[in-house]
Each structure stands twice: as structure tokens, then as C-alpha cells.
């Protein structure tokens, strides 16, 4: 979707957006908070414009979205709250003025080809990986406003796993940890069923809604299995083969899930290091300190066995799939009070 043809014009001689001659239209379902101005000042511009004007307009649009702190009208969306930013994108909580529903809208972090192309590529991948009706982020739209690309996704009302750990002293009870991991495995399986390796599974990318549903988000580094190699992702959650830049398979993400489960249960990352080289070496060569795991009950010992298998350095000796890991955890979870 392109919005060229009816666009807002930025006045470089008088900084700011020109006043609109057309009031914004809202669907009956849309709700705008009290005291919020839902519209950026703008005018319509309905004839061909030259390349330099387009670039200036794109730059002005991006600058306004990135730098403003209040509610911002961005195409069909009212950006109401900045949620966070990553390596090349900024996410906002937004109101879709066409249907009144809340969404997440992601725009490029910087005004350059790399950030723009990375966002479009993420949107294209997400449209594929989110095509199943399951526990994956559902991308609603990939489009642009005045040439600035965006992707819109359904809003998950909740917290990410990193935030939940921080709110609970860094770790969770065994029953809750297994419940989250079982649902996370289910979410990862949706990607693997499409032949896609996520490559960036980490607590920050695991959203847990207030309804308890677990959703794996941020598919920007997804790759089809035949093209999925290492180095991409977050080093703390690399598998050994990912740390070596080798070919990745679903078993690589079994390792990552094992790391997260151990972290949930102990509050300690098994390979944490502030030195990148030391971290990569530890992932490839060191064994976690399994003594941190309680081993008083039969179920606790079974969990230890599952984690040990998931964290084997040789991928061929790990569970053959995330589905197998999930089944093992389900058997244990059913026995817990």
C-alpha cells in the first residue's frame, strides 16, 4: 500500500506541518482519548511531485514520527505510545482509525536504505510466518506512509518474559516455568512447520498476554531452514552451531529453549559473560552449573534430565524437534500440583 497521491506536505521554510483542509475521518468504532489531538496538520497534494520533493517528504515524515513524543497521526494510524526500539526499528502502540482497534506499528529507526529494507524484509517474512492461526505474531499489513515503510501487527496486551522475570525476582516456580515453556514450544513449532528458523528466540521476544497466552514475536531474523546460518540473533541465546556461524536446524532452537528454561528456573543465565569472546567460548565448550537446579523431587530430576539433553553441544544428540521437547515437558507438568 502506498499513500502517494494524497500526502502531507512538510514546509521547509516554516518548520511544521501545514494545516489540513480536510478533517480526519474516524470509524464509529474508533475511540480517541480525551484531550488528544488525533490529526497532524496537513494538506492534500494530488499531482505528481519530483524525486527530491519525495525524498524530502520521506525524511520529514520519518523525522516527525521518530522525534515527536505526543500522539501522532501516521497514515491510517494514530501512534499513541512508544513501546521500544531494536537494531533498526521502533515500535508504537497505535489506534487503527479504520476499525478502531489497537495495533502495534513498527517503523524504521533511521532514515537510510538499510533500515528501510530491513523493515520491509521483516514484514514480508512476518506475513508468511504469521499466516497460521496460532501462537505467532499476526502481521496485519505491510505498507508505507509518504514512502516511510511500516508493518502493523496485532497488539498483545501483556508483558514480555524478561519483564515478568524482573517482576518476580529473576526466576519463576517450576510449574509456571514449564507452562510457559510448553506454550513457547508450541509457538516455535508454528515457525518450524513452515520450514522457518526464528534465529532470535529470547525472553524479550516472548510476549505473555494478560490472558496467559504465550506468543513469540519479532520475526525479523527469520530464515528458511536451508538458508538459516548462525551469527544472526542475540549471542546470549546462541546455540553452539549458531556461535560458529554454521547451518541451523530446529535442534538449534531446542538448545536456545533449554537455555531459557534453565534461566527461568534458576534466575541465572548458564553462559552469561560481559565479554563477547568469553561468552561464545562458554556456549561452545562449557557446561552449565546444574547444581543451581533443585533436585529434591522426582519431577525436578526429570526436568534436569530434559535440560541436559537440550543443552548437549552436539545437535544430533538433542531432542529431534521442539515438539519432542514440548512432549517431555508436558509429561512432567501433568504430574505437578
**Residues designated as active site:** 200
Please state, in angstroms and as integers, the Cα–Cα distance from residue 136 to each residue in 90, 94, 190, 270, following that order.
20, 19, 7, 27
Pairing of strands 223-224, 214-216: unpaired
User: 148 has which bridge partners?
Assistant: 145
* Half-sphere exposure at residue 103, Cβ-oriented, CA atoms within 13 angstroms: 24
Positive/negative CA dihedral, 299, 305, 311, 315: negative
Is residue 24 classed as helix, strand or coil in its secondary structure? Answer: coil
> Rounded to whole angstroms, how far apart are CA atoms 51 and 53?
5
The 3-state DSSP composition of the chain as helix, strand, coil percent (nearest 5) reads: 40, 20, 40
- How many other CB atoms are found less than 10 A from the CB of residue 115? 19
> Rounded to whole angstroms, how far apart are CA atoms 330 and 107?
38
Q: Cell 521502533 sits at which residue? A: 90
Give the distance between the most distant pair of CA atoms in the chain. Answer: 74
Task: Return all residues near 99 (Cβ < 8 A) that are at least 6 apart.
Answer: 27, 29, 30
> Rounded to whole angstroms, how far apart are CA atoms 216 and 244?
24
Q: Based on C-alpha coordinates, what's the Rg of the chain?
A: 23
Is residue 16 classed as helix, strand or coil in its secondary structure? Answer: coil
Amino acid at each position: 500500500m502506498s499513500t502517494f497521491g494524497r500526502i502531507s506536505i512538510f514546509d521547509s521554510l516554516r518548520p511544521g506541518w501545514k494545516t489540513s483542509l480536510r478533517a480526519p475521518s474516524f470509524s464509529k468504532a474508533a475511540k480517541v482519548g480525551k484531550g488528544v489531538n488525533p490529526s497532524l496538520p496537513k494538506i492534500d497534494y494530488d499531482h505528481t511531485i519530483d524525486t527530491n520533493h519525495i525524498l524530502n517528504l520521506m525524511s520529514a515524515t520519518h523525522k516527525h514520527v521518530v522525534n515527536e513524543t505526543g500522539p501522532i497521526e501516521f497514515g491510517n494510524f494514530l501512534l499513541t505510545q512508544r513501546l521500544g526500539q531494536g537494531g533498526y526499528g521502533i515500535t508504537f502502540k497505535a489506534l487503527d482509525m479504520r476499525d478502531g482497534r489497537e495495533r502495534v506499528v513498527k517503523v524504521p529507526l533511521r532514515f537510510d536504505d538499510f533500515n528501510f529494507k530491513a523493515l520491509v524484509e521483516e514484514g514480508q517474512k512476518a506475513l508468511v510466518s504469521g499466516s497460521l492461526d496460532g501462537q505467532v505474531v499476526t502481521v496485519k499489513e505491510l505498507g508505507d506512509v509518504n514512502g516511510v515503510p511500516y508493518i502493523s501487527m496485532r497488539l498483545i496486551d501483556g508483558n514480555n518474559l524478561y519483564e515478568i522475570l524482573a517482576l518476580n525476582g529473576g526466576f519463576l516456580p517450576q510449574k509456571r516455568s514449564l507452562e510457559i515453556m510448553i506454550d513457547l514450544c508450541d509457538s516455535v513449532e508454528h515457525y518450524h512447520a513452515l520450514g522457518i528458523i526464528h534465529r532470535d528466540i529470547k525472553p524479550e521476544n516472548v510476549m505473555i498476554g494478560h490472558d496467559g497466552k504465550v506468543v513469540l514475536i519479532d520475526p525479523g531474523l527469520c530464515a528458511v531452514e536451508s538458508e538459516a546460518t548462525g551469527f544472526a540473533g542475540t549471542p546470549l541465546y546462541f546455540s553452539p552451531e549458531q556461535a560458529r556461524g554454521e547451518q541451523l536446524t530446529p535442534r538449534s532452537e531446542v538448545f536456545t529453549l533449554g537455555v531459557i528454561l534453565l534461566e527461568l528456573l534458576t534466575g541465572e543465565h548458564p553462559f552469561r559473560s560481559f565479554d563477547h569472546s568469553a561468552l561464545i567460548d562458554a556456549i561452545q565448550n562449557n557446561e552449565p552449573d546444574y547444581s543451581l537446579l533443585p533436585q529434591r523431587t522426582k519431577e525436578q530430576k526429570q526436568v534436569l534430565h530434559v535440560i541436559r539433553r537440550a543443552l548437549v553441544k552436539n545437535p544430533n544428540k538433542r531432542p529431534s524437534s521442539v515438539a519432542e521437547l514440548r512432549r517431555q515437558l508436558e509429561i512432567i507438568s501433568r504430574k505437578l500440583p
